[in-house]
Amino acid sequence: MVELATPASVTRASTRDAAFARGTVSASGNGTLPALASVDVERWQALAGDACEPNGFYLPDWALAIDAFARGRTGLSALTAWRDAAGPARLIGLMPVISLWRAARIPLPALVGAEAYGTVRTPLLDLAAADEAAQKLMRQARDAGAHALILRDIPLDGAAMKTFTRVLDAGGLRPAVLHSRLRACLDATRDADELLRDALGAKKLKELRRQRYRLAEHGEVACAIARTPDDVARALEVFLKLEAGGWKGGRGTALAQSAGDAAFIRRAAAALAGHGQCEIATLGAGTTPVAAAIIVRHLDRAFYFKLGVDERFAKFSPGVQLTLELTRHFCADPAIATVDSLAAPDHPMINPIWRGRLAIGDVLIPLARRDPIVTLIRAALMAQQGIRASARRAVHLIRRLKAKRR
């Protein structure tokens, strides 16, 4: 049976744990965790191409743009797993991380998968060496002073989670699911027309066709897919304008409203397009763009990152119309098997259209057996989760009351 930590390492003086929690210890005892920006990009790209599970938001072009520019998300560290064989060392595992203090203001010694502006934080694990990679990532986290890894926004039935579960089981340990939810996804292996008929029914599809005909009164309705770096860069500016002009702009959360976020997405989208990993779909009525979406691609999965619409055309359901176009686009693409909506549970727009469901969760990975600090970490996270859920319910209630008054 594999031991991931010795009893001595668990009972070591608590001053080291306190220092780690304050961010002053992030080392394997004699140095710091590598900065994400220091990871060899060529080897990182090779790992991404051989990963056991897709995550477009941990691709180097995306993650490094986040690390360089995005507000509140810069200065990331990395857990890395290397295989030393004949010839150059091979990167077999990578997980961008931050401390639990930075992630949640909890002063306990744990590392958390870094949020990369897309609600997927699956570590990259080499398909041919996944167990070895997971074990080495856990060992590096433990040697750095962490007592637990927190995998957030990870598919619970995915290959990466199954790998960590296997490795933990070999060491007499078990993961703990802190929170789970279901979100919509598209089974892109199906025929699009059949899928949409099953999901929406003839009556709803007829209504959507009527809305499209009405939209066509403003000009011919067409969907354009930007793929090259130059085309993506141009389409991105259209998207940024649409998003800022909608409800996200009203709340101050549109990408264009932050210089850092705008710089991040401009760099990431064009760079990913150079590898065929980013597309921007734009739905237009004549020369007027009415909706646009950013799509990230990795291996056989696509990620529906963001949608922006011109709310002057809201009665024609431009976001739904574009989603129907994307459904047909991906179902016709043999390279894509699944599209992750990245949407909140019970999302009113996407859930009725994409009837597949991904189980997504936040999972605590203990790094030693019978560790009381892991119990504290779990309890603190669960308590904070309860407080945040109550706060969200209060915010939604206030918004409903305001809408009712209007």
pLDDT of residue 396: 61
- CA-based nearest residue to 377, from 116, 26, 21, 139: 21
Question: Which is more confidently placed, 72 or 394?
Answer: 72
pLDDT of residue 387: 77
pLDDT of residue 87: 67
pLDDT of residue 8: 36
Which band of pLDDT confidence, cut at 50, 70 and 90, is reported for residue 5? very low
Identify whether the C-beta of residue 291 lies closer than 8 Å to the C-beta of residue 307. Answer: yes
| pLDDT score of 15 more than 70 | no
Question: Which is more confidently placed, 393 or 215?
Answer: 215
Please state, in angstroms and rounded to a whole number, the distance separating the CA atoms of residues 50 and 279.
Answer: 22
Please state, in angstroms and rounded to a whole number, the distance separating the CA atoms of residues 236 and 93.
Answer: 31
Q: What is the largest CA-CA distance in the chain?
A: 74
Which band of pLDDT confidence, cut at 50, 70 and 90, is reported for residue 26? very low
pLDDT winner (highest mean) among 20-24, 181-185, 248-252, 397-401: 181-185
Please give the average per-residue pLDDT across 393-400, as a whole number: 64
Residues 210-222 have pLDDT tens digits of 999 999 999 999 9
Which band of pLDDT confidence, cut at 50, 70 and 90, is reported for residue 160? very high
Please give the average per-residue pLDDT across 152-169, as a whole number: 98
pLDDT of residue 22: 57
Which band of pLDDT confidence, cut at 50, 70 and 90, is reported for residue 385? confident
Rg (CA), the chain: 22
| pLDDT score of 344 more than 50 | yes
| pLDDT score of 295 more than 60 | yes
- CA-based nearest residue to 107, from 18, 26, 13: 18
Angle at which helices 41-49 and 60-69 cross, to 10°: 130
Say what the pTM is. 0.90
Which band of pLDDT confidence, cut at 50, 70 and 90, is reported for residue 25? very low
| pLDDT score of 106 more than 50 | yes
What are the DSSP calls for 346-370, one per residue? T-TTTTTT--EEEEEEEEEEESSTT
pLDDT of residue 342: 98
Give percent of the chain above pLDDT 90: 83
* Residue 47 phi, psi dihedral angles, 5° rounding: -60, -45
Among the listed ranges 7-21, 30-44, 70-84, which one has the minimum average pLDDT value?
7-21
Amino acid at 228: T
Give percent of the chain above pLDDT 70: 87
* Residue 359 phi, psi dihedral angles, 5° rounding: -85, 115
Which band of pLDDT confidence, cut at 50, 70 and 90, is reported for residue 402? low
Please state, in angstroms and rounded to a whole number, the distance separating the CA atoms of residues 114 and 116.
Answer: 6
Residue for token digits 């002073």? Answer: 145
Which band of pLDDT confidence, cut at 50, 70 and 90, is reported for residue 31? very low
Please give the average per-residue pLDDT across 15-31, as a whole number: 49
Please state, in angstroms and rounded to a whole number, the distance separating the CA atoms of residues 145 and 314.
Answer: 52
Which band of pLDDT confidence, cut at 50, 70 and 90, is reported for residue 51? very high
| pLDDT score of 401 more than 80 | no
